[in-house]
Each structure stands twice: as C-alpha cells, then as structure tokens.
Amino acid sequence: MPDGPTVRRRRLGAELRRLRDGQGMKLDEVANHLGLVASTLSRIETGKAPIRTRYLNDLLDLYEITDPGVRRVLVDMGREGHRKGWWSDYDDVLPSGFDVYVGLEAEARELRAYEANFVHGLLQTRDYATAILRGLHPRDSDEQIQRAVDLRLQRQRKLDEEPPLDLWLILDEGAIRRQVGGTEVMRGQLEHLLRAGAWPHVTLQVMAFEEGSHAGIVGPFTILRFDPADPDVAYTEGMAGSVYLEKDREVRACTEAFDRLRASAMSPETSMALIETVHSQLRE
C-alpha cells in the first residue's frame, strides 16, 4: 500500500523537528518567525496538520537547507501531506480530532487494543454500531447516525486488504455481556466475533471479571504500529477528547501494559469458548 497523507505528514514533521533541534531553536522562536502560534507548528511537527509550501520553504531557509535535492524531497512530502484521505468524505460526522486517528489507523500495519465497555469499532456489526452511536449521540438524526456507521464500516476494510491489518484485541468481559441494541443485535455481534476470532490476522482475548484489577483498569487504549521507518503511536479517548502518545517512554509504557493484559486475559481459545457460551445464553 502506498504511503498515505498521514504517514507523509508524520515523516515530514519528524524531519522538521530534527532540523529545528539541530539549529538549537525553540518551538515558539520558530513559530514567531513564521507568524504562527506555537501550537500550530507543534501540530505540523507531530504530523497532525499539513504545512503550506510557503511556510515550508521559509523553514528550510531558516534551517539553512540549501541542497536542491533535499529541498525538493521535503517540499514533495509537504504537498503529499495535503492530499485528502477517503475519510474526508465523512468530515460532517467525524468527531473533532478523530480524523487524525482514522488516518493513522488507515496506514497502520498492526493494531493492539484494549476495550473495556464495548466491542472495538473494527469488529462491530452494522446493527451494533448503530446502537452504540445512538446511545452516544441521541440528538443526531438518522442520516447522521448512518453516515457515522458507514464511516466505521469503511474503516473495517483494513481487515480485508492484502496484507490485512494485524489486529490483536482484548475485550473486557463486560463488552461481550452488555446487551447493546437488545438480544438479537447482540447475538449477531457475538456471532461476528466468533467468525473474526478464526481469522489468521486477528487475535481475540477476553479479560475475565474474576481477574480483578489489571493493567487496563484505567480505561481503553490502542497502539498503532507502522513500518519500521515510522514510530508507533498510542491513542486513548474519553469525554475530554483524544490523546495521542508519541514519546518513546509513553508508547513503551502502553506496550508494556498491553503485554501484561495479554498475560492476564483468557487465552484466545478460552475466550472463544466464553463468547460461545454467552451467545448460547441469549434468548432467541
């Protein structure tokens, strides 16, 4: 799969940050030089926002990059970073800041996630996703809900690509027992989990209630992994918004927490057996 705009922006941002550090310049100093606020330059350096060619050329002048070949590569990366991903068609229903996550997910090679309250979006059925979103956004119209559901299902294409996304998902037991949307919807969702658990690129585990306190007790999180040239990103969200963790120590802490969760959760085989049991207990 060719590099998408999110990867291009991340690579360019990392290089611009390296060049700034090499000049011994502070973020606000460079932002003032460009006539930008520091937060805008920070978003550019972390790959969360594209950069205009004029600002990019001013930065390269400031950082004394005179090699025409190097400048051309960086300017091309900047232009590629302005390309719109498929998710831009859903801007009207994308939560603020979530476009960054969808872009990262679309270009990730591996995804490791712990979900506490409901099934992860990449494995939700249409009916289950509709019920979840209606509960979260009761004031949205039917059209808005269905567009948000369509966005969620479009994200699932990652699991059908070649090669497919390597997904390792740990669900809290509450996520498979909570009857989102009612019995019929939940039966369909559990049947989908049983099918997905058999896919070679999906590993599914359940964290049993009886485990008590564990490494994910503070809430759900996701770790996205890319090609070796691009650093991993950890992501979490809540009522206060989205948080992206990109510093090595932060991502490493999340990775270690996920490893502890894998060790504490039921094995994939036992997890599938529990899902089958919960499914059979639901009334027709």
Mention the CATH class of domain 89-281.
alpha beta
Query: In this predicted model, what pLDDT tens digit does every residue of 15-69 receive, in sequence order?
Result: 899 899 999 999 999 999 999 999 999 989 988 888 999 999 999 999 999 988 8
Confidence label for 3 from pLDDT (cuts 50, 70 and 90) = low
pLDDT in tens, 99-155: 889 988 998 999 999 999 999 999 999 999 999 999 999 999 999 999 999 999 999
Structural tokens at position 26:
């502070």
Ramachandran assignment for 183, one of left (phi > 0), alpha (psi -120 to 50 degrees), beta (any other): alpha
Which CA distances in Å does 100 have to 96, 104, 129, 280?
A: 9, 6, 21, 39
Q: What pLDDT was estimated at residue 2?
A: 47
- CATH 3.30.870 in the chain, residue ranges: 89-281
Contact by Cβ (8 Å): 223, 233? yes
CATH topology for the 5-80 domain = 434 Repressor (Amino-terminal Domain) (1.10.260)
The residues of the chain that CATH labels 1.10.260.40 are 5-80
Alpha carbon distances (Å) from 66 to 15, 21, 69, 92, 166? 15, 17, 9, 42, 41
